Amino acid sequence: MTLNQLTAHEAINLIKKKRITAYEIMQDIFSQIDKVDNLIKAFLVINREEALKQAKEIDKKVKNGEKLPPLAGVAVAIKDIIATRGTETTCGSKILKGFIPPYNATVINRLREAGAIIIGKTNMDEFAMGSSTENSAFGPTYNPWDLERVPGGSSGGSSAAVAADETFVALGTDTGGSIRQPASLCGMVGLKPTYGRVSRYGLVAYASSLDQIGPIAKDVTDCALVMKVISGHDNMDSTSVNLEVPDYLKSCQEGIKDLKVGVPKEYFIEGIDPEVKGALDKALKIFEKLGAKIEEVSLPHTEYSLPTYYLIATAEASSNLARYDGVQYGYRAEEYEDLSSMYQKTRSEGFGSEVKRRIMLGTYALSSGYYDAYYLKAQKVRTLIKEDFDKVFNKYDILITPTSPTPAFKLNEKVSDPLTMYLSDIYTIPINLAGIPAISLNCGYSKSNLPIGLQIIGKHFSEETILRAAFNFEQNNDVEKKKPSIKPAKHKEAKK
């Protein structure tokens, strides 16, 4: 076994005990990246030199007997939508090619202060719009479990990197499922925090009222460790909430006998893969065995989530993306006649087709005469969806659902049909509309050896409870945990 295959908490303990050094870990991390990333294409930028230098600094601290910060020596990969000072941040878009932020996002500063080592930036759907990472201007990322399949999206680079042991943990962002769905499709653990729990300062905005940053990790413990570091109030983000951050790891140690679990009937609709349904039924039995009380519940407005999301998210995106005009950031068209043709050409050449589709949809929904019919109405339905959750959470502590209706799908399977692609997030989108937290973790594998994910949803600011439920399940799940074998796709091998 090489050191990159450890979990973050295992690595931290071994460094503390002086059994291994942070430098040795980094060497194994980068040799794995060298070995597999030409197949997976999870990374857009790799910070090798800087990372090795930081590892040496950690080792010096160990040698001098200094107290180590909580994530000392932990390799972290960052979705390329989070600003990193001095390192290119493209959001997977040609329009931001060459953009080097002059400042760090708050989460980056917090990770660095905690001793984490930022090893690189990961691929993503352009501006986080997508569910497969096929919308990146820099080419797709491939799922380590089957290189002919997508890793999910939009944080597909982050989840594939963790699954392929190219990093210990990664940060993703989730506007409608982009942490949980790729975590599910890659067999990892991913948490979307409550809106306001983690600072969005330095996160390039897609849909500001829905976006949250969160961790993708190999297990629940690592997820809890990273959450503790990145959470908490930040003066730079007026929507970040001033609430104490609990010790997530400690609460994981408690059982779940006290938990009342709701299973929303609207989530078991036509289109759900029978293997996903089967894995979920088995998982629910384990929760029952652990003493949780499980009952069916109803979230009656679920069917309106998708249209509501695609009105609100596109409206906010059309406004947020107006700033990419060739003047302030990144790309500018080479040939143009006057100012307005410069804007037009820059945006036509710089944005990909999914981003353009959404800017057009959003601009339409916000235009005068249509605002009340679409945007305002969507906001009202959003309130109804949130109230559905408020009602069930009066009686239940958590909800359990699948994360994605199917395991990983093939590349090109859904690109030509945006509506089918949008359905990939049917179970994750309502959670962002309500602003509540949810975690996805592996609960089994399909017959063709693809991971299947389970989603645990909680009340506002109940990350402690969903992490505890997830940890108890992880410890008692009788499906043996597997690692992907990362075999080149058959047809590609044949071509060689």
Active site residues: 79, 154, 178
Should residue 187 be labelled a site residue for ligand GLN when binding is judged by CB under 6 A?
no
Residues 6+ apart with CB under 8 A from 373: none
Q: What is the size of the binding site for ligand GLN (CB under 6 A)?
A: 13
Closest separation in Å from C-beta 121 to ligand GLN? 16
Residues 6+ apart with CB under 8 A from 71: 8, 12, 111, 114, 115, 116, 225, 226, 229
Should residue 430 be labelled a site residue for ligand GLN when binding is judged by CB under 6 A?
no
By CB under 6 A, name the one of 89, 158, 178, 308 that touches ligand GLN.
178
Phi-psi region of 489 (alpha: psi -120 to 50; beta: other; left: phi over 0): beta
**Nearest Cα to Cα of residue 170 among 127, 137, 212, 218:** 218
Closest separation in Å from C-beta 197 to ligand GLN? 16
The sign of the dihedral angle between the CA atoms of 147, 153, 154, 157 is negative
Contact segment (CB under 6 A) with ligand GLN among 93-101, 123-131, 255-263, 370-378 equals 123-131
Residue type, position 255, single letter:
G
CA 293/CA 284 separation, integer angstroms: 10
**Nearest Cα to Cα of residue 43 among 80, 6, 75:** 80
Which whole-number Å values give the CA distances from 141 to 2, 155, 424, in the listed order?
A: 24, 10, 17
C-beta closer to ligand GLN: residue 180 or 301: 180
CA 224/CA 240 separation, integer angstroms: 19
Question: What are 219's two structure tokens?
Answer: 């297990």
Binding mask 199-218 for ligand GLN (x = CB under 6 A): -------x------------
Q: How far is CA 280 from the centre of its chain?
A: 21
241 CB-contact burial (10 Å; exposed 0-12 / middle 13-18 / buried 19+): middle
Should residue 176 be labelled a site residue for ligand GLN when binding is judged by CB under 6 A?
yes
C-beta closer to ligand GLN: residue 51 or 129: 129
Binding mask 287-326 for ligand GLN (x = CB under 6 A): --------------------------x-------------
Should residue 128 be labelled a site residue for ligand GLN when binding is judged by CB under 6 A?
yes
By CB under 6 A, name the one of 4, 32, 131, 472 that touches ligand GLN.
131
Sheet holding 260-264, edge to edge: 43-46, 117-122, 75-79, 169-174, 212-217, 189-192, 438-445, 451-458, 398-402, 260-264, 293-297
Closest separation in Å from C-beta 281 to ligand GLN? 26
Should residue 174 be labelled a site residue for ligand GLN when binding is judged by CB under 6 A?
yes
Should residue 425 be labelled a site residue for ligand GLN when binding is judged by CB under 6 A?
yes
**Nearest Cα to Cα of residue 163 among 39, 320, 339:** 39
Closest separation in Å from C-beta 138 to ligand GLN? 17
Closest separation in Å from C-beta 429 to ligand GLN? 7
C-beta closer to ligand GLN: residue 91 or 292: 91
C-beta closer to ligand GLN: residue 161 or 225: 161
Closest separation in Å from C-beta 309 to ligand GLN? 7
Closest separation in Å from C-beta 480 to ligand GLN? 30
C-beta closer to ligand GLN: residue 117 or 161: 161
- Angle (CA) 414-276-433 rounded to 5° is 65
Q: Rounded to 5 degrees, what are φ and ψ at 122?
A: -110, 155
Contact segment (CB under 6 A) with ligand GLN among 67-75, 125-133, 162-170, 486-494 equals 125-133
| Residues at the site binding ligand GLN, with contacts judged by CB under 6 A | 128-131, 154, 174-178, 206, 313, 425
